[in-house]
Structure 1
Amino acid sequence: MADITVPVLGESVTEATVGSWAKAPGDAVAKDEVLVELETDKVSVEVSAAEDGVLTEILAPEGENVEIGALLGRIGAGNGAAAAPSAPAAESAAPAASGSGEQVKVAVPAMGESVTEGTLSQWLKQPGEAVAQDDPIAEIETDKVAIEVPAPVAGVLSETLVTEGTTVEIGTEIAVISAGAAASSTPAAAPAAAAPAASASSGAAVAPSVRRISAENSVNPADIPGTGRGGRATKGDALNFISQGGAQQAAAPSAASRELGPREERVKMTRLRQTIARRLKEAQNTAAMLTTFNDVDLTEVMAIRKKYKDTFYEKHGVKLGFMSFFTKAVVHALKEIPAVNAEIDGTDIIYKNYYDVSMAVGTDKGLVTPVIRDADAMSLAGIERELGRLAKLARDGKLQLSDLQGGSFTITNGGVYGSMLSTPILNPPQSGVLGLHRIEQRPVAINGEVKIRPMMYLALSYDHRIVDGKEAVTFLVRIKENLEDPERLLLDL
């Protein structure tokens, strides 16, 4: 028999709150396996098993305040068989579709680095419908991408445990599939208990102390920025949030809500749209953003495209577009003006000796910026091929988080929608974004004569904290020079 006690938690810390138990009585435990998480007003601490055995009892339930040295539970000898019988009984209670089969739970899969939760935006299958293995049954929307949840086995979707619009965490059980069963003629109705079950599951990872503090101050626990393991909010995070006016901030949107008129409707913003709004506002609030402009004569680029477009397509299988020329010109300019490719980290500047260019792509759900990796090492054909691949994934909603992370500079082309001029906004933590616009025939003076040329306005928005005006202007001039005389790119001038 081994006692589980509260360890020393640091200088001046005399008590903690039991956050969550990772094991239940009867569960087998291995030496050094995490049993329970304790929260102080400063940190979260994991308490591990001192030896192999079985967790025989829990003496300090979740949410209870405990002092240093207090007894939390006990570990006894055994293999953990005590708790096993209850699991099958619970699973057998799940309703099955016609043709009884093994009841397989479907859980939220891992959704990428740093992503711990998402919103179940829609069910792609309904209870009673047949599903094949790997068929998508639900779509979960994170703050970056939409992810489809596949069926782990073939059978019938017998029950949905979460309603659309519910926030779910990784590992949350959202459905039950009757493996090998045949579809019923009439789809079963979703259980009335789905909503409560979803609420319980979505809040399962919120520590009791955080729930209590949130309830006492009328705050949504999801609004509290977390510093604990897996991004979870700790007791200290909750107290800091409240002390810094978080309750008033959280209440502000509700107070600002107004009654709708007879021809108005209110639609909740998607998580992607909320993230876009938050990040754009953060960019405005953080960066000293400034925009400088220039124009470019695309006569030479258009002549090259016209001359070689058929041969280019026959050899490479992709069309020769404008974006590959702009990408090459941008990379060339970034090499000369490295500050535009850098970012600020506290009081340091991080210079990036790579050129991963984010390309803004408009979709039905909002703007996303997939990244073309190592654009400096790509040919024009390679850039066009990769851009086409990423744009298709974006439109189909199949981008992975890895496709969106790590860009060092962004190009956005409002010209495809007819924009004549704009001031693009930064994509943090990047320090520069280039805005392209529509090409239009305009009269320009060339060697004392008025010529009609295909002209485009360029706009560079940059963080003035790291990029000086001279550098920004020079950056745009280099792009202009390289596009008006593309041979400079070949000669690396």
Structure 2
Amino acid sequence: MSTEVRVPTLGESVTEATVATWFKKPGDTVAVDEMLCELETDKVTVEVPAPAAGVMGEIVAAEGDTVSVDALLATISEGGEGAAPAKPAAKAEEPKAEEAAPAAGGASVDVMVPTLGESVTEATVATWFKKVGDSVEADEMLCELETDKVSVEVPAPASGTITEIVAAEGATVEAGGKLAVMSEGAGGGASAPAEGGAATAAPKAPAAESAAKGAKDVENAPSANKMMAEKGLSASDVQGTGKDGRIMKEDVMRAGAAGSKAASAPAPSAPPRGPVAAEDEAREERVKMTRLRQTIARRLKDAQNTAAILTTYNEVDMTEVMALRDEYKELFLKKHGVKLGFMSFFTKACVHALKEVPEVNAEIDGTDIVYKNFVHMGIAAGTPQGLVVPVIRDADAMSFAEIEKAIAEKGARARDGKLSMAEMQGGTFTISNGGVYGSLMSSPILNPPQSGILGMHKIQDRPMVVGGEIKIRPMMYLALSYDHRIVDGKGAVTFLVRVKEALEDPRRLLMDL
């Protein structure tokens, strides 16, 4: 049975496109939704996924051809066996393989590296929770991988026994790479893969096909990959603006030669290690930095090297916000199923201030200033693995309850290392709450390419002069770090004053004052 691959809807008022790149050729095995080719219009780049699994047949529209909406691009033969011819030959050469499989206790299954996230192509094996010979259940966690942004758990694809660990702890693996081999069913032995190699070729194919599908899901534009290779950049050094965070050629161009040099040589940013006495060295412990920590270190230093960071301070009387929260927190929880915290007030106050001072919600792109007519609010969160910044998209259109639910959900996912790369990209402004750790005052560092970040701090009772009288009030210091290249002092101070006013009189938020 043959399935047609046709040009999808290209967008409003767009009727034709050019075939930019084919990622498959006739005879290749493809999985459902695996990217087949890329089309370019005068506005966007469109990926064309496989409508069915099978084998690529005829490619009707070659690279460079102009095609209209719903035009035929190629055909796929459903249910095709791309590797079928190799199986009989393997069995003929090793007739004992079929007899060895039952003795081994079941078919061999490869444990593959899962999809790691947008623009992430490799990871480090952090911890193995099982060893060779251990029995496992389907979906039981086998190991944990670390990328430069998130931790990824790898579940068992089937019930059985671990027969071989291919990638040990500390090894670097690519998306779709092999981590281990296991034997399905009870009583699997370590010798199964060697003796049953030919007989188990078929079960391995679906796993590899699935891994290939995962790798293609995060495929960057080929022109972007080529330029990154030329400039010495990795995908983590470039922020993608394409669909689902996909890196385009223009994104690599924006990263620039300066970013390339900083990314390729992060070590010189640290002073050289001085001489250490032998007795002191014996009492030291040397631990390799995780990928996440390396990325945090590089990005923070890049921010200092690139932006003209300046910080302005103010303080806010939290009396009214605390009173409002105490009055309605039980009713809020009962109606919305989530606790009313301070973060929703601060998010709303920042959204209100960003409308008046839009340059704090903008970014620099070469010699242009890009003003954002929306607010994707980054909420910095400390996790056991390091600092991450999940993004609450379109926070300016959310209610208090929606903001609290989004923060709670993404905070929990951040602590569990479950955030995807897409959930941490595209922020326009960031809030960092050091007060939860007891910080009284600090100067937050920008999260590039953003131009502003608000630092919250500990609420502390202090004597204040109110109406000519000294009263004890719950006070919090606020810090706004901003990029002085785009934000002037007047704008920064105005922003912080508007946040202060909105928090000291929350009614202003309702009246948009």
Q: Under a length normalisation based on structure 1, what TM-score does the superposition of the two structures give?
A: 0.69
Instruction: Tell me what 1:151 maps to.
Output: 156
The secondary structure found in structure 2 opposite 1:279 is: helix
Structure 1 residue 371: Cα displacement: 1.3
Instruction: Tell me what 2:49 maps to.
Output: none
Instruction: Tell me what 1:406 maps to.
Output: 426
Instruction: Tell me what 1:291 maps to.
Output: 311
Residue identity over aligned pairs, in percent, reads 58
Residue type of the partner of 2:145?
Answer: I
Distance 2:417 2:261 in 1: 37
Residue type of the partner of 2:133?
Answer: G
Instruction: Tell me what 1:103 maps to.
Output: 108
Are 1:427 and 2:432 matched, yes or no?
A: no
Distance 1:226 1:264 in 2: 33
Note if contact 1:99-1:181 (Cα within 8 Å) is conserved in structure 2: no
The secondary structure found in structure 1 opposite 2:473 is: strand
Distance 1:359 1:118 in 2: 25
Residue type of the partner of 1:418?
Answer: G
- Which range is displaced more, 311-320 or 460-469? 311-320
Distance 1:127 1:384 in 2: 44
Deviations 1:155-194 (A, max 9, x none): 222111011111111111111121223467xx99xx9xxx
The secondary structure found in structure 1 opposite 2:281 is: coil
Pairing partner for 2:233 from 210, 225, 235: 225
Instruction: Tell me what 1:348 maps to.
Output: 368
Residue type of the partner of 1:292?
Answer: T
Structure 1 residue 356: Cα displacement: 1.3
Note if contact 2:266-2:298 (Cα within 8 Å) is conserved in structure 1: no
The secondary structure found in structure 2 opposite 1:452 is: strand
Structure 1 residue 114: Cα displacement: 0.9
Distance 2:488 2:270 in 1: 41
Structure 1 residue 251: Cα displacement: 8.4
Note if contact 2:118-2:420 (Cα within 8 Å) is conserved in structure 1: no
Instruction: Tell me what 2:355 maps to.
Output: 335
The secondary structure found in structure 1 opposite 2:127 is: strand
Alignment of 1:166-315 (within 5 A): 166-182=171-187, 224-225=232-233, 256=272, 261-315=281-335
- Which range is displaced more, 304-313 or 290-299? 304-313
Structure 1 residue 290: Cα displacement: 0.5
Instruction: Tell me what 2:492 maps to.
Output: 472
Instruction: Tell me what 1:133 maps to.
Output: 138
Deviations 1:78-120 (A, max 9, x none): x987755677789x79x99985211111221221221111111
Are 1:416 and 2:418 matched, yes or no?
A: no
The Cα RMSD (Å) is 4.0
CA separation of 1:254 and 1:465: change in aligned 2, threshold 3 A: closer
CA separation of 1:389 and 1:347: change in aligned 2, threshold 3 A: same
CA separation of 1:80 and 1:159: change in aligned 2, threshold 3 A: closer
The secondary structure found in structure 2 opposite 1:483 is: helix
Structure 1 residue 385: Cα displacement: 1.5
Are 1:391 and 2:396 matched, yes or no?
A: no
Pairing partner for 1:449 from 469, 473, 491: 469
Structure 1 residue 135: Cα displacement: 2.4
CA separation of 1:445 and 1:163: change in aligned 2, threshold 3 A: same
CA separation of 1:401 and 1:122: change in aligned 2, threshold 3 A: same
Instruction: Tell me what 1:320 maps to.
Output: 340
Question: Which runs of 5 or more residues in structure 1 are unaligned?
Answer: 1-21, 35-50, 54-78, 192-204, 206-220, 232-240
Deviations 1:308-329 (A, max 9, x none): 1222222222211111111110
CA separation of 1:251 and 1:486: change in aligned 2, threshold 3 A: closer
- Which range is displaced more, 333-342 or 150-159? 150-159
The secondary structure found in structure 1 opposite 2:109 is: strand
CA separation of 1:452 and 1:139: change in aligned 2, threshold 3 A: same
CA separation of 1:224 and 1:96: change in aligned 2, threshold 3 A: farther
Distance 2:358 2:270 in 1: 44
Structure 1 residue 125: Cα displacement: 2.0
Alignment of 1:83-94 (within 5 A): 84=87
CA separation of 1:98 and 1:372: change in aligned 2, threshold 3 A: farther
Note if contact 2:111-2:181 (Cα within 8 Å) is conserved in structure 1: yes
Instruction: Tell me what 1:367 maps to.
Output: 387
CA separation of 1:257 and 1:445: change in aligned 2, threshold 3 A: closer
Note if contact 2:459-2:475 (Cα within 8 Å) is conserved in structure 1: yes
Question: Which runs of 5 or more residues in structure 2 are unaligned?
Answer: 1-22, 30-34, 37-55, 59-81, 195-214, 216-228, 239-245, 248-256
CA separation of 1:349 and 1:160: change in aligned 2, threshold 3 A: same
Matched residues, number: 384
Deviations 1:213-267 (A, max 9, x none): xxxxxxxx9x943599x99xxxxxxxxx9xx999x95886999456661321110
Distance 1:252 1:387 in 2: 37
Instruction: Tell me what 1:76 maps to.
Output: none
Instruction: Tell me what 1:121 maps to.
Output: 126
Distance 1:272 1:377 in 2: 31
CA separation of 1:253 and 1:179: change in aligned 2, threshold 3 A: farther
Note if contact 1:97-1:182 (Cα within 8 Å) is conserved in structure 2: no
Distance 1:430 1:267 in 2: 32
Note if contact 2:115-2:175 (Cα within 8 Å) is conserved in structure 1: yes
Pairing partner for 1:162 from 163, 167, 172: 167
Residue type of the partner of 2:233?
Answer: P
Distance 2:406 2:85 in 1: 55
Deviations 1:31-90 (A, max 9, x none): xx99xxxxxxxxxxxxxxxx989xxxxxxxxxxxxxxxxxxxxxxxxx987755677789
Distance 1:144 1:261 in 2: 31
Distance 1:427 1:384 in 2: 22
Note if contact 2:163-2:188 (Cα within 8 Å) is conserved in structure 1: no
Note if contact 1:97-1:158 (Cα within 8 Å) is conserved in structure 2: no
The secondary structure found in structure 1 opposite 2:413 is: helix
Instruction: Tell me what 2:402 maps to.
Output: 382
Distance 1:279 1:381 in 2: 32
Distance 1:362 1:86 in 2: 55
Distance 2:293 2:281 in 1: 24
